[in-house]
Amino acid sequence: MLSLLALAVPLLMGVIALVVPWRRWIGWGSAFSSAGVLGLGVALCVTTSSHGPVSALHGMLRADALSSFMVVVIGTVSLLATLQTPRVMSQEIAAGTTNPRLASYYVVLMQAFITCMLTAVLAANLGVLWVAIEATTIATTFLVSHHRTKKAIEASWKYVILCSVGIALAFLGTVLVYFAALHAGVGTPRTASLNWTSLMAIAPHLNHGVMRLAITLLVLGYGTKVGLAPTHSWLADAHSQAPAPVSALMSGVLLTVAFYALLRFKAIADAALGPAFPRALFIIVGLLSLVVAAVLLIAQRDYKRMLAYSSVEHMGLLALGAAAGSSLAIAAVLLHMLGHGLTKSTLFISSGEIAHAEGTTEIAKVTALLARRPVLGAIFGCALLALLGFPPFSLFISEFTMARAEVNVGLWWVVASSLVCLSVIFVAMTNHARHLLLGGESSTAVPLSARSVVVPLVTALVACAFVGVSAWPLLTLLHAAAHVVAP
Amino acid sequence: MTHFGPPLGYAIIASILQVALIVLGGPLLMGLMAKVRARAEGRVGAPIHQPLRDLRKLMGKEGLRAHHSSVVLAVAPLIVLGSTALAVAISPLVTTHPLLSASADLFVIVYLLLTGSVTMALAGLDTGTAFGGMGSSRAITVGALAEPALLVAVIALSIQARTSNLPAIVADTINHPVWTSTPTRILALVALVIVVIAETGRLPVDNPNTHLELTMIHEAMTLEYAGSDLGLVTLGAAMRLGLLFALVMNLFVPWGVATGRSIPWLLAAVVFLALKTSLLAVVVSLIEVHSAKLRLFRVPELLAGGFVLAVLAVITQLATR
Amino acid sequence: MSTSFYVGALELTTGAVLVCAVMTLWRRQVRTIVTMLRFQGVALAAVAGVLAWHEHDVGLAITAAPVLAVKGALVPWLLHRVIRLDPRSRETAPLINVPASLVSSAFLIVVSYVVCSKLTALAPSAASRLVPIGVATVLVGYFMLVTRRRSVSQIVGLLLVDNGIALVTFLLTAGVPLIVELGATLDVLLVVVVLQVLVVNAGARHGSFDLDEMRELHD
């Protein structure tokens, strides 16, 4: 029931935005619906912790601890992103880069996007999960090309083509899993289904050759959507050309929803093949992503692309944590998802403000932000520190715990290599940040940033720090969620 | 091959019949194709036996040879005729038990035809003229691209028969029901038709009626021949055309080929073969009427497409065994 | 339906899917390429129909209709709208020329046959033996995506990948659950709608939409 409500709220808001012409209150309405999603997510967490997994809609939707946690993550980041909608749309309409019709399309597509993500995490059937993730690609294409410039259209073209190809591979992997289930020799053929729970039950009987092929295709396919190398080339273009709240939502939570799909499939593969083969796959893509991100961050010239490549890095870290596979590792991965979502969205939204104020996204042309716009610069700087893994922010705890879990399993060489890459990334990003933030002299007449920017972003950073210091109230939830895929 | 096949005398009679049939029938097929083209263009056209009359006229004339030519120019028409006649004698045209049928392997017949092509190419180079060399190089290029398609297409058919012996393949096709491995047959047929058009020098690969030397492929090689030499060369080309058409029809529509040891059936098979090859000649002529000559650098595209279709035929056959 | 007739019909329709894929690599006229795609959609629906008839599977028969409608009619119609905007109707200078592309596709077909041996071994049947043909279509689609420059050719490559995967789905599992199959077909349609709108918008605003000119975003 709750899960159904969680889907219905953004859907309803989307329909309203479609029917009613653009007004400012529609923008606030979308923020309100995201707040509703967050509240329902918290309620779902409470319900699943006391009653266990709940189903709805004749078993099509299923919420266990992992799904409820993902709903909370989606709700949080979408709240941050949609709170910006009224201000950003008014700015763009005033500047003439958009018109009310496009603004209402923007709201409709954002709501559709959020609904699809919620469907993906609440789906009981892995095929429905696939359909929902494909639907997010379609919903976000026009969001990426919202500004209708030549670069934006090129970015959205690349995004659609590459992600559709990846998703098609993931579909083939899903079909192979279904094929293995049909011939698993348990029960009669034709009673197999793509439900995750039934697949987990018969996992030990699935054919090894077919499952190996299937998990490889799935890692490559969904890995395209996550932004893991070698299929990461769409990320920088799409996330840098999209409007700032859209980039926040995509980088903050869409990548993690695709990774959630990988976690579900990895659980099946671990039960069918044993941990060795899936672990090797995840280590390969994880280390490759870290190396690629490190190399490409050094000579970066655009700060939005810099943030996009940092997303590639963090997805690589998530892959390495999932490779470890223990309950502690997965709990750290989930905490990292939440922390990354909060900080990355903060960074993208503030970078959107910076781009609007300075008129350019090149690092070389923006300088002395702390002097000229102290509040905005401070937010950007603190969020960047959080992203780089400084205490007290939660990313420090999650990265440390992931490293500890990897060492526990014997992957100390992976930890060493990832630390090398992380140090390179640290140096590269602090270098760019130094150029952006420092220098110049402070003046007294500084323009003020809008309250609708400052308040949510500061709240997000404070929440991230709070979670970093004391993981309560999330501790039990994280362990319950991790137990779902890593018993 | 079977030990209880027809006796040697039967095989000798059948092979002689095949050679005679192709010697007469090759020029007749060329005449038929010219007639169909003429009718399609709204003309009456020359009678079907006109190529035979041309051959008789040419054989009566003196064969002049260029001053600087060597023995290659003199000997080449004989080699071409000899190799083609040998290939005709051992191919399964009117019977599945011709002379030396155990040696009638796909590769043997293809190499016999290749001997003829290479010899003609050498003869084109022999006189040292520019057009001769140009024709030779073009002909060898087309031939080199068509060979893989030809071999792979017939190999697709040989997978089911489990042998590459052509008479055995034809016998096997007669024994099997018609709708098995249909996709393989369709793909191999299209590939073979493309190859035959290329090897016999018809449109859209080569225009046999062109008088512009720069557009010639096969005719450029034979520019220096005259009189009886030219007659022999033209007869060789006509026999090659007849052999290829007959082989293609027998591989795909083998009913009518004599499998037993009776002479009357042999004569009936001659009639059937004439009908089948005439049908293929009409089809190829209609393709000629409706297509323009391909530019030379587009010919590899056509032949590569034929090659892919042949590979598809093989894979389809392997995948459905 | 007798077994040999079923096997023959299945082979014919599956082979037609792959032949259409090879023809899209062969021909240069973009209009012909889209017509080949239309034939491929019809052949794919025919495969689903033959399988449904043999297995008496109503769900699969129901999926054949939307597959025919979307892949055989709607998608080619949308692609024709894209073509109409661009007066240049030929694929000029692909990155790998046509004869080399055709030979590479022959190589890819052989590779797919080798790779699929494990899949066929798990459940040998007339349908699963034809899985290499579906995988070959996917590989040909990838090849086209990578080596062609026109935007329409890239869309065709993507659609070949999707058609190949749909063929593998039908052959291996006689279709996944109905809702997933319908969702997948609808997704293909929506992707093509999206791409078509992108091309139309770009063409309207910036004069042309040639992938060759899209080089502004890079590191």
pLDDT tens for each residue of A6-38? 777 778 787 777 777 777 778 888 888 888 888
Contacts of C18 in chain B (CB under 8 A): 312
Q: To the nearest whole percent, how much of chain A has pLDDT over 90?
A: 41
For testing the chain B interface, which of C4, C5, C7, C11 should be mutated: the one with the most B CBs within 10 Å? C11
Q: How much is the average pLDDT of C147-154?
A: 82
Report the candidate in B206, B230, B196 with the shortest Cα–Cα distance to residue B66: B230
Residues 116-135 of C with CB under 8 A from B: 126, 129-130, 132-133
Q: Is the pLDDT of residue B1 over 50?
A: no
Give the pLDDT score at A446. Answer: 67
pLDDT of residue B65: 85
What was the pLDDT predicted at C39?
94
**Is residue C207 scored above 80 in pLDDT?**
no
Taking contacts as CB-CB distances below 8 angstroms, the residues of chain C near B305 are: 22, 26, 102
Q: Rounded to the nearest 10 degrees, how much is the dihedral formed by the CA atoms of A163, A166, A170, A173?
A: 170
Task: Provide the β-strand partners of residue A56.
Answer: A61
Tell me how far CA of residue C140 lies from CA of A23, C8, C101, C165, in angstroms: 49, 24, 9, 12
Q: In the predicted model, is pLDDT for residue C128 greater than 70?
A: yes
Mean pLDDT, residues B161-181: 81
Is the CB of residue B285 less than 8 Å from the CB of residue B33?
A: yes
Q: Say whether A160 and C122 touch across the interface (CB within 8 A).
A: no
Location of structure tokens 């319908």:
C182
- In sequence order, the 6+-apart residues with CB closer than 8 A to the CB of A186 are A202, A205
Chains with 3 or more CB pairs closer than 8 angstroms to C?
A: A, B
Residue in chain C closest to A182 (alpha carbons) equals C173
Range of lowest pLDDT (A12-16, A145-149, B275-279, C78-82): A12-16
Any C CB within 8 A of B176 CB = no
- Paired strand residues for A123: A61
Domain span at C19:
3-213
The count of structural domains within chain C is 1
Nearest C-alpha in C relative to B304: C99
Residues of A in contact with C119 (CB under 8 A): 176, 179, 209-210, 213
What pLDDT shows up at residue A73? 93
Q: pLDDT tens-digit profile of A76-131?
A: 999 999 888 888 888 888 888 778 888 888 888 999 999 999 999 998 889 889 99
Check: CB of residue A177 under 8 Å from CB of residue A211. yes
pLDDT above 70 coverage of chain C, percent: 89
State the DSSP string of A221-266: HHHHHHT-TTS-HHHHHHHHHS-HHHHHHIIIIIHHHHHHHHHHHH
DSSP count for chain C of H helices, then E strands: 9, 0
What is the pLDDT at residue A191? Answer: 61
Other Cβ atoms less than 10 A from the Cβ of C46: the count is: 21
In the predicted model, residues of chain A with pLDDT beneath 70 are 185-192, 442-446, 472-473
Residue B3 has pLDDT above 60, yes or no: no
Percentage of chain C lying above the pLDDT 90 cut = 21
Query: What mean pLDDT is reported for chain B?
Result: 89
Please give the pLDDT value at position C213: 63
Residue C219 lies in a domain: no
Q: What is the mean pLDDT of residues B68-78?
A: 90
Chain A residues closer than 8 Å to C142 by CB: 165
With an 8 Å Cβ cutoff, are C102 and B180 in contact? no
Taking contacts as CB-CB distances below 8 angstroms, the residues of chain C near A306 are none
- At residue C69, does pLDDT exceed 50? yes
Q: What residue has token string 């034709």?
A: A190
- pLDDT above 80 for C149: no
Residue C215 has a pLDDT of 66
* pLDDT attached to residue B82: 94
Please check the confidence at residue B233 and state whether its pLDDT lies above 60: yes
**Do residue C217 and residue A151 have CB atoms under 8 angstroms apart?**
yes
Contacting residues of B for C111, CB less than 8 Å apart: none
Q: Do chains A and B touch (3 or more CB pairs under 8 A)?
A: no
Q: What is the dihedral of CA B286, B290, B295, B296, to 10 degrees?
A: -10
Give C-chain residues touching A153 at CB under 8 angstroms: 198, 201-202, 206, 209
Q: Look at residue B15 and tell me whether its pLDDT is greater than 50.
A: yes
Q: Tell me whether residues A148 and C201 touch, CB distance under 8 A.
A: yes
Model pLDDT, residue C38: 93
> From the list A145, A296, A305, which residue is nearest C198 (CB)?
A145
Task: Band the pLDDT of B184: cuts 50, 70, 90.
Answer: confident
This model of the complex carries an ipTM of 0.90
In 3D space, the residue among A341, A354, A375 whose CA is nearest the CA of residue A432 turns out to be A354
Question: In this complex, do C184 and A131 lie within 8 Å of one another by their Cβ atoms?
Answer: yes
Shortest distance, CA C183 to any CA of chain A (angstroms): 6
Q: What is the pLDDT of residue A6?
A: 76
CB atoms within 10 A of CB C88: 11
**Which pLDDT score, from 0 to 100, does residue A224 have?**
93
Predicted local distance difference test score (pLDDT) of residue A297: 92
Q: What per-residue confidence (pLDDT) applies to A340?
A: 94
Q: In chain A, what are the domain boundaries?
A: 1-124, 146-274, 286-487
pLDDT in tens, B26-64: 999 999 999 999 999 999 999 999 999 999 999 999 888
pLDDT of residue A285: 94
Query: Domain-by-domain residue ranges, chain B?
Result: 8-319
Architecture of domain A1-124: Up-down Bundle (1.20)
